[in-house]
């Protein structure tokens, strides 16, 4: 496993910290997720998506359904990324973003961390 990039965005007082990893197996993913949960105990949400060949999974981690994991996975798939894990940690800033705002926030954080410009 290798951390390829990490970025932080602030959107309406919420902090989004995106991590982009190169991974080779599910054990590495579990290790990374457990380590991030320990390191960021006060974070409200840790949604993620990964793709290793035919193994694909996404998690909204208590965000409204389809607003976090799916936008991350969509960018992974549209760009044919493989052997990747993207985790975005959210520290809630007190302002609700709504479903559209969350989708935009997680999409923007994913695009920034993988450094891909998508229209």
CATH of the domain at 84: 3.30.230.30
- Residue 19: inside a domain: yes
Count of structural domains, the chain: 1
- Residue 49: inside a domain: yes
- Residue 98: inside a domain: yes
CA-closest candidate to residue 104, choices 63, 76, 68: 68
CA-closest candidate to residue 85, choices 108, 111, 107, 56: 56
pLDDT tens, residue by residue, 55-87: 999 999 999 999 999 999 999 999 999 999 999
Both tokens assigned to 70: 């799916």
**pTM over the 0.85 mark:** yes
pLDDT tens, residue by residue, 7-18: 999 999 999 999
pLDDT at 118 over 50: no
Strands annotated E in the chain: 2-11, 14-22, 48-52, 55-59, 84-91
- Residue 119: inside a domain: no
Domain range enclosing 80: 2-114
How far apart are the C-alpha atoms of 11 and 86, rounded to whole Å? 19
How far apart are the C-alpha atoms of 39 and 6, rounded to whole Å? 15
């Amino acid at each position: 496993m290798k951390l390829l990039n990490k970025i932080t965005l602030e959107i309406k007082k919420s902090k989004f910290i995106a991590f982009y990893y190169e991974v080779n197996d599910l054990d590495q993913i579990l290790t990374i997720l457990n380590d991030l949960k320990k390191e960021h105990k006060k974070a409200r949400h840790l949604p993620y998506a990964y793709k290793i060949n035919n193994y694909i999974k996404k998690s909204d981690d208590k965000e409204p359904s389809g607003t976090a994991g799916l936008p991350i996975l969509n960018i992974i798939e549209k760009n044919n990324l493989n052997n990747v894990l993207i985790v975005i940690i959210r520290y809630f800033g007190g302002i609700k973003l709504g479903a559209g705002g969350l989708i935009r926030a997680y999409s923007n954080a994913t695009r920034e961390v993988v450094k891909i410009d998508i229209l």
